[in-house]
Structures are given as structure tokens and as C-alpha cells.
Amino acid sequence: MRLFQSAVSIQFWRLAWLAAMIPVQAQVNAPIYPVREIRSICQSAPGSGADILIRHYSEQLSKRLGKPVVVENMPGAQGKIATSAAARAKPDGYTILITPASASLAASKHIFKDLGYDPDKDFTPVATIVQHGVAIAVSPKLGVQSMAELTQHLKNKAGNGAYGSSSNTSIAAAELYKEKTGLQTTQVRYKDANTMMIDLLRGDLDWISSDIGFLASRANSLKILALTSSTRTPWMPELPTMAEVGLAGMDVPSWWGVVVPAGTPKPIVDKLTQLFNEISNSDETKKFLKGLAIDPMPGTGEQMTAMLKRDSERWARLVQLAKIDKE
């Protein structure tokens, strides 16, 4: 009898040990992420300021993961095409979206009637990466040296001229400027900022509204007049803010983050968070961002979620103030 009880006890503990080892064995046998290339979706055209930024982060991520991170450009529709594609992707960590989140996620639902994605439910925030302001610029041929001179030039022109923009944030900044000065300048939207730049220098536009990174990289060809952020950028300390030139209340939030499709496993999200913060904090990236007049802004997915909530509320007020009708 005692021998039978001992045998049963030994068998019980053997089964218990095997059961305990199953999760460990499953973890050992699970593939290590990543095992293949990662797709990095870009909402802008090749060669644009956004494309340059996304390619830098994608290349740096590739170095750290040891796998290719391939940038796939999907320009058009104010970023909706690219963002929708990312939302529909399989949540396995092999599709990432490096995006101007303040526009594509926080602002978009207040600007567009039909997005094709739900910015609150379709994504898991991974990390914040950079922040920057939006600026107003003109062609040097226009002979305008300040925002006051631009305003006067436009008021003297029939119809108040035309301006170009290629993102939600730049549209909001431009429309706020129009609202504060009483201008009726015609808005011309572009799929990519490079084409907008060509039209400005050709004389088809009077001014453009764009992110400071894109404008700073072309500062030799432009006259940048003012920045919409609340403080001056340390990379271009001579550039005044809108408040400093008498146009207060034009602080348009503009920052970038990384998201993955909702449902992506948390260990993968955590790994990407760690790596993107490592990239943003690196000396190589800080040097790269300085050339674009952009400030690094590393942060966690939780911090990004809080910022999206805050900026969504801000954008609701901005859209109302700038009198932007939903499209």
C-alpha cells in the first residue's frame, strides 16, 4: 500500500513539474522578434521632410533589431491613406507607423468626416519621438521681410492671394492666421511639400504654411517669417514666434510618435518603446534633428496616450477658432 502511495505521489509531482515547464518550453520555442523585415509606413512622398525623418528612425531601428525596416511611401489625402493602411495591418509587430500624431491621430477626427480608421481604437501607442513648430514662409522674390509686411501685401492684393499647405497642423496654423487678420486667402492643398515649394518659388503661391523641419532644410531658398510654437527653437533662435509679432494664440501643437496596430503583443510593444527611446536619446539622432530644427521628445506609450487625449481636446478648440469645416 505504501509503495502504491509513493508511486502515485511521484507521478503527481512529475506531472506537476511537466505542467510548470510547459510555459517555459513554449517561451523557449517561441520565435524571437523580429524574424523578418518590418514595414515602416510613411504618409509623405520620398524626399520630403517627413520622409527624411521616418527614414532616419527606420534605419536606426534596423541597426538595433538586425533586420531590414523598409519604408513604404503612401502619400495623399492628408495622411489618411497611410494611416488607414497601418490600422488594417496585422497586429504582429511587423508594421509600424511613424507619424505626426498630433495631426494624424489627435486632430484628424476634428477635421475629417470619414477617416477610414479610428484614431482612438485602431492603434497602440509605442513612443513619442520629436516635436517641432509650424512656420510661415515666403519666396525671397516677394520682398516681404516680416509677418506685418506679408499681411499688408495680402490685403493689397485682390482676393488676398493664395497659400499652400500639406498637413493638418499647417492648415490649422494658416487658417488661424487668416482668422486673426481678417484675410480671405485661398487655400491650396498639396499631397507633398516638395511640389508646394516649387509652386511657391514659381510665384503661384504668396506664402506657405509648413513644419519648421521642412522649411529649415530649405532655408537658403526661403524667407521664414515666424514660428507658431509658444517658444523659439534653439536651432533657429533668430526666428520669432507668432506671439512676438503680435499674433497671440497661434500655438499649434506638432509632435511625432510611433504606433502599431491595436492588439500587437505587449512584449513587442515594450521592445519597440525601448528602442525608439534609445534612438531619440542617441547623439547621432540629436545631431540629425538639429539639422532639421526639430527637438527630440522621447516618451513612453502611456505618455503618448495622455498627450493624444490632451491634444484632441486642444484641436477641437483650434478647429472651432480657425473656423475649419469638416471635410
> Residue 325: its pLDDT value, please?
66
Average pLDDT over residues 125-129: 98
Residues 264 and 256: their CA atoms lie apart, in Å, by 20
Q: What is the pLDDT of residues 49-81, one digit of tens each?
A: 789 999 999 999 999 999 999 999 999 888 899
> Residue 225: its pLDDT value, please?
97
> Residue 29: its pLDDT value, please?
45
E-strand stretches of the chain: 38-42, 69-73, 95-99, 123-131, 134-138, 162-165, 186-189, 207-211, 223-227, 255-261, 295-300
255 pairs with which residues across the strands?
A: 131
Residues 112 and 122: their CA atoms lie apart, in Å, by 17
CA atoms within 13 A on the CB side of 325: 1
Let me know: does 135 contact 147? Beta carbons within 8 Å.
no
> Residue 36: its pLDDT value, please?
96
Residues 313 and 295: their CA atoms lie apart, in Å, by 23
Residues 34 and 47: their CA atoms lie apart, in Å, by 28
Q: What is the pLDDT of residues 296-317, one digit of tens each?
A: 999 999 999 999 999 998 888 8
> Residue 322: its pLDDT value, please?
66
Which phi and psi angles does 71 have, rounded to 5°?
-80, 130
**Domains of the chain, each with CATH number or no CATH:** 38-132+254-321 (3.40.190.150), 134-245 (3.40.190.10)
State the CB neighbour count (10 A cutoff) for residue 179: 15
For 110, residues 6+ apart whose C-beta sits below 8 A from its C-beta are 312, 315, 316, 319, 326
Average pLDDT over residues 248-277: 94
> Residue 26: its pLDDT value, please?
39
- Indicate yes or no: pTM above 0.85: no
Q: What is the pLDDT of residues 203-246, one digit of tens each?
A: 999 999 998 888 888 888 999 999 988 888 888 899 999 999 99
> Residue 194: its pLDDT value, please?
86
pLDDT(142) > 90: yes
Residues 173 and 88: their CA atoms lie apart, in Å, by 30
The residue among 130, 131, 225, 233 whose CA lies nearest residue 174 is 225
